[in-house]
Amino acid sequence: MSGERGIVIDARGLSKVFPDGTQALDNVDLEVREGEFLAILGLSGSGKSTLLRCLNRLIEPTEGSVSIFGEDVTRARGKKLRKIRSDIAMIFQQFNLVRRHTVLINVLSGALGRSGLLSSALLRFSEYERKKAMGFLERVGLKGRESSRADALSGGQQQRVAIARALMQEARLVLADEPVASLDPALRHSIMRHIEDLNRKEGMTVVCTLHDIDLVRRYATRLVALRAGRKVWEGTAEQFDGDTFREIYGEDAEPASNTMI
Amino acid sequence: MTTARERILAQQNTPWKKGVRRLQGLMLDTILMLLVLLMIEFLALAFSGRRGPTGLLLTPEEILDLLSYPWLVTVAFVLATLWNLFYRPLGTSPGRATVRGVMPEEEFLPWTQTSRGWFTALLIQLTFFTGWLITEVQLLTFLTKFSKAADIVRGLMNPSADVLHQGLVLLVQTIFLAFMATAFAIPLAFALSFVAARNLTRGNWVARWSYTLARTVMNLTRAVEPLVWALIFISWVGIGPFAGVLALWVHSVAALTKLYSEQIESIDTGPVEAITATGASTLQVLRYGVVPQIIPPFLSFTIYRWDINVRMSTIIGFVGGGGIGYILKPRVDLGAWGEVGTLVILIAVTVWAMDIVSAKVRERIV
């Protein structure tokens, strides 16, 4: 059914070799269509995070091309690159909030891509932006915490601030890098549901690296698996079975009993 | 077709770069070997019982003049070359280990099982014994001849009230002198620290050259003693506290830039990544991702610097840079130990109080 939808990400032949000779990505193609919730699977070190970061050029790919919403990301410079990035929200495993700033400033910083230099240097945002930020905080269940310092919040709350920041950015694409891996298992679904909301209610396309098979099957519409920097498998959640599991994670890996039926 | 990885590795291992690394390792080994040989000859001469032209035992200075430098340089170079050529049976040399890494089979050996471990141990031992002779350590004199200094100590412990008033006035001047020097240093050091931080200056060649330039200038500035800066500024603006402010200012800019930029280099990259990903410009990334992280340590370093400047301004005063040191020097020269005692106590109490206050404040903000 996704066949007639527009292409959001079109990455071709992506390779990344770090200066120490580590090959993190090896000739990876990735195509993501509008409205998809794509999960990227793989062991740690398989290149998942590098792949996400190559998409918005937080990491410079060694080879290959990326185009997002039809714009050539790999060739973009300066203003053009910032414009493309402002359309792509990012959520991180370690939340990456500015710890000493207030929760509200952290949410507002999502709007930096469209705010003036001087006003943002003075941490001044319009009343309109502030109201909007407060609304997003309420939506992620953090009403009343706007003037707390970010590092005073628990991990789950910090990740919700990061989600409000992504909302504030008004992006059309969300890249989430292991968004729940450093959270208490009990909180994982709460965060994943917020990300699902970004996908369903806001219509944002989501690309999310995950290693918990349960979560992948519950939230993702499509899966891509990496192993040692190569794309080894691609398909829907339903097609994913024990054989695929061993193909991705190696012969020694054992799916946890409750994850596979 | 070659893969991206092979091409990257080939770029890093051009014959030229390989050659440069080999040469660096060899140079380092030659220098280390030369140090060992020189110190061995030094110790041999010192214990040989040879007498100098005056008929007395050789002094360390005379021995330093006698060492066979050109000959030992040659020997060191030959030995280092041999070690670099036959590193397989001999074990990796320290120079090779530093520049190119050790052989895999040596990686997890304790130092007692590698030749470079023993070599380093020998180097440290030799340095200690040579140092003992060169600095003319005399433990016995130190332990038995205290009585000569007793006069001074007695004077210091019986402070005279004569200079108390003048001392207090100048103490106030000292504290403000140190404060002004620190205050003037903050904006310049803040601006320079971004240019002098490695992690922010990888972008293009302009950034890389500004980094090298800023670091070099700061290191040279810091290498010149504040005392020398004081003499320069005294002839520039005349004797008095302002010359002292300028002398400490120059030194503080250099020192704070170094401390600040090291702090910038150790920031958490997460927020920087997050802010960059929102499409923020470089200046916005600095403002939101970097500055909030560095403000508390910067404050802490700045207060610490004020503390150091108070201590330093005493010495600056010795040459006419204002502050309490100005009246301390003539009293030391005259041997007015009671008055010196008063001033020393005043300085000690101030430094001690500043130390406690600055530690408390720094605890609060970090």
As a whole number, mean pLDDT of residues B194-211 equals 85
Residue A37's nearest CA partner among A223, A165, A211 is A223
Tokens 């050996």 label which residue?
B109
The Cβ of residue B211 has, within 10 Å, a number of other Cβ atoms equal to 19
Sign of the dihedral through C-alpha B102, B104, B109, B115:
negative
Q: What residues does A15 pair with on adjacent strands?
A: A63
CA dist., res. B197 & res. B184, Å (int): 21
pLDDT tens-digit readout, B272-301: 999 999 999 888 999 999 998 998 888 888
Cβ of B287 within 8 Å of Cβ of A121? The answer is yes
Judge whether A129 is closer than 8 Å to chain B, CB to CB: no
CA dist., res. B228 & res. B312, Å (int): 13
| A24-51 CB burial, b ≥16 within 10 A, e <16 | bbbbbebebbbbbbbbbbbbeebbbbbb
**Residue B274 amino acid letter:** A
Residue B13 pLDDT > 90: no
Tokens of B343: 């001033």
- Using a CB-CB cut-off of 8 Å, the residues of chain B touching A56 are 277
User: For B293, which residue in chain A has the nearest alpha carbon?
Assistant: A100
Judge whether A112 is closer than 8 Å to chain B, CB to CB: yes
How many Cα atoms are found within 13 Å in the side-chain-facing hemisphere of A16?
Answer: 26
As a whole number, mean pLDDT of residues B302-323 equals 87
Lay out the sheet containing A88-91: strands in order across.
A88-91, A173-177, A205-209, A37-41, A222-227, A230-236
Are residues A214 and A189 in contact, defined by beta-carbon separation less than 8 angstroms?
no
Lowest mean pLDDT among A1-5, A79-83, B171-175, B314-318: A1-5
Are residues B194 and B265 in contact, defined by beta-carbon separation less than 8 angstroms?
no
Cβ neighbours of residue A245 closer than 8 Å, sequence gap 6 or more: A213, A253, A255, A260
Cβ of A89 within 8 Å of Cβ of B287? The answer is no
User: Which contacts of A229-237 are long-range, i.e. CB under 8 A and separated by 24 or more positions?
Assistant: A229/A15, A229/A16, A229/A23, A229/A24, A229/A25, A229/A26, A229/A28, A229/A46, A229/A47, A229/A50, A230/A26, A230/A27, A230/A28, A231/A28, A231/A29, A231/A30, A233/A41
What is the share, in percent, of chain B residues with pLDDT greater than 70? 99
As a whole number, mean pLDDT of residues A232-246 equals 82
Residue B52 pLDDT > 80: no
Average pLDDT score, chain B? 89
Of B273, B277, B292, the CB nearest to A88: B277
Q: pTM for this structure?
A: 0.75
CA dist., res. B175 & res. B324, Å (int): 10
How many Cα atoms are found within 13 Å in the side-chain-facing hemisphere of A205?
Answer: 20
| A78-108 CB burial, b ≥16 within 10 A, e <16 | eeebbebbbbbbbbbbbbbbbbbbbbbbbbb
Of A15, A100, A120, the CB nearest to B287: A120
Q: Which pLDDT belongs to residue B335?
A: 85
Strands A71-72, A37-41: pairing is unpaired
Q: Which pLDDT belongs to residue B183?
A: 95
Tokens of B80: 């280092």
Of B12, B274, B287, the CB nearest to A90: B274
Q: Which pLDDT belongs to residue B366?
A: 62
Cβ of A117 within 8 Å of Cβ of B284? The answer is yes
Judge whether A165 is closer than 8 Å to chain B, CB to CB: yes
CA dist., res. A144 & res. B80, Å (int): 69
- Using a CB-CB cut-off of 8 Å, the residues of chain B touching A21 are 5, 8-9, 12
| A204-234 CB burial, b ≥16 within 10 A, e <16 | bbbbbbbbbbebbbebbbbbbbbbebebebe
As a whole number, mean pLDDT of residues A49-70 equals 92
Judge whether A109 is closer than 8 Å to chain B, CB to CB: yes
Distance from the Cα of B109 to chain A's closest Cα (Å) equals 24
Mutation for A interface: B1, B2, B8, most A CBs within 10 A: B8
* Residue B159 phi, psi (nearest 5): -60, 145
Residue B270's nearest CA partner among A88, A53, A211, A112 is A53
Residue A258 pLDDT > 60: no
Q: Counting beta carbons within 10 angstroms of the beta carbon of residue A183, is it exposed (0 to 12), middle (13 to 18) or buried (19 or more)?
A: buried
Residue B187 pLDDT > 90: yes
| pLDDT confidence tier of residue A240, bands split at 50, 70 and 90 | confident
Cβ of B8 within 8 Å of Cβ of A162? The answer is no
Distance from the Cα of A55 to chain B's closest Cα (Å) equals 11
pLDDT tens-digit readout, A182-229: 888 888 888 999 999 999 999 999 999 988 888 888 899 999 999 888
pLDDT tens-digit readout, B97-108: 888 888 888 888
CA dist., res. B277 & res. B283, Å (int): 14
Q: Counting beta carbons within 10 angstroms of the beta carbon of residue B254, is it exposed (0 to 12), middle (13 to 18) or buried (19 or more)?
A: buried
- How big, in percent rounded to 5, are the helix, strand and coil portions of chain B? 80, 0, 15
| pLDDT confidence tier of residue A76, bands split at 50, 70 and 90 | confident
- As for the ipTM of the complex, it is 0.89
Of A15, A98, A111, the CB nearest to B271: A98
User: For A175, which residue in chain B has the nearest alpha carbon?
Assistant: B277
A123 or B139, greater pLDDT: B139
The Cβ of residue B115 has, within 10 Å, a number of other Cβ atoms equal to 16
Cβ of A165 within 8 Å of Cβ of B3? The answer is no
Mutation for A interface: B2, B5, B7, B269, most A CBs within 10 A: B5
Judge whether A100 is closer than 8 Å to chain B, CB to CB: yes
Q: Which CATH class is domain B155-365?
A: mainly alpha
User: For A166, which residue in chain B has the nearest alpha carbon?
Assistant: B278
Sign of the dihedral through C-alpha B41, B46, B50, B54:
positive
User: For B269, which residue in chain A has the nearest alpha carbon?
Assistant: A96
User: For A14, which residue in chain B has the nearest alpha carbon?
Assistant: B4
Distance from the Cα of B299 to chain A's closest Cα (Å) equals 14
As a whole number, mean pLDDT of residues A79-103 equals 92
Alpha carbon of A247 to those of A27, A212, A253: distances in Å?
Answer: 19, 16, 9
Tokens of A244: 């695929």
Cβ of A92 within 8 Å of Cβ of B274? The answer is yes
Distance from the Cα of A243 to chain B's closest Cα (Å) equals 30
What is the share, in percent, of chain B residues with pLDDT greater than 90? 41
Mutation for B interface: A109, A119, A129, A207, most B CBs within 10 A: A109
CA dist., res. B209 & res. A123, Å (int): 32
How is chain B split into domains, by residue range? 4-137, 155-365
Strand, helix or coil at B296? helix
B145 or A136, greater pLDDT: A136
Q: Which pLDDT belongs to residue B250?
A: 94
Strands A63-68, A71-72: pairing is antiparallel
Judge whether A80 is closer than 8 Å to chain B, CB to CB: no
Residue A206's nearest CA partner among A52, A49, A14, A5 is A52
Residue A255 pLDDT > 70: no
- Using a CB-CB cut-off of 8 Å, the residues of chain A touching B12 are 19, 21
pLDDT tens-digit readout, B227-261: 899 999 999 999 989 999 999 999 999 999 999 99
CA dist., res. A38 & res. A29, Å (int): 14
Mutation for B interface: A59, A93, A96, most B CBs within 10 A: A96
Residue B226's nearest CA partner among B166, B124, B314, B160 is B314
User: For A23, which residue in chain B has the nearest alpha carbon?
Assistant: B5
Lowest mean pLDDT among A32-41, A194-203, A223-232, B144-153: B144-153
Average pLDDT score, chain A? 87
User: For B287, which residue in chain A has the nearest alpha carbon?
Assistant: A121
- Using a CB-CB cut-off of 8 Å, the residues of chain B touching A26 are 3-5
Phi-psi region of B320 (alpha: psi -120 to 50; beta: other; left: phi over 0): left
| pLDDT confidence tier of residue A257, bands split at 50, 70 and 90 | very low
CA dist., res. A17 & res. A234, Å (int): 23
B244 or B151, greater pLDDT: B244
What is the share, in percent, of chain A residues with pLDDT greater than 90? 52
- Using a CB-CB cut-off of 8 Å, the residues of chain A touching B293 are 98-100
CA dist., res. B61 & res. B195, Å (int): 43
The Cβ of residue A67 has, within 10 Å, a number of other Cβ atoms equal to 18
CA dist., res. B98 & res. A166, Å (int): 45
Residue A90 pLDDT > 90: yes
Residue B92 pLDDT > 50: yes
Q: Which residues of B touch A (CB under 8 A)?
A: 3-5, 8-9, 12, 268, 270-271, 273-281, 283-284, 287-289, 292-293, 295-296
- Using a CB-CB cut-off of 8 Å, the residues of chain A touching B296 are 100
Q: Which pLDDT belongs to residue A4?
A: 60
Residue A261 pLDDT > 70: no
**Residue B133 amino acid letter:** L
Tokens 């001087």 label which residue?
A118
| pLDDT confidence tier of residue A95, bands split at 50, 70 and 90 | very high
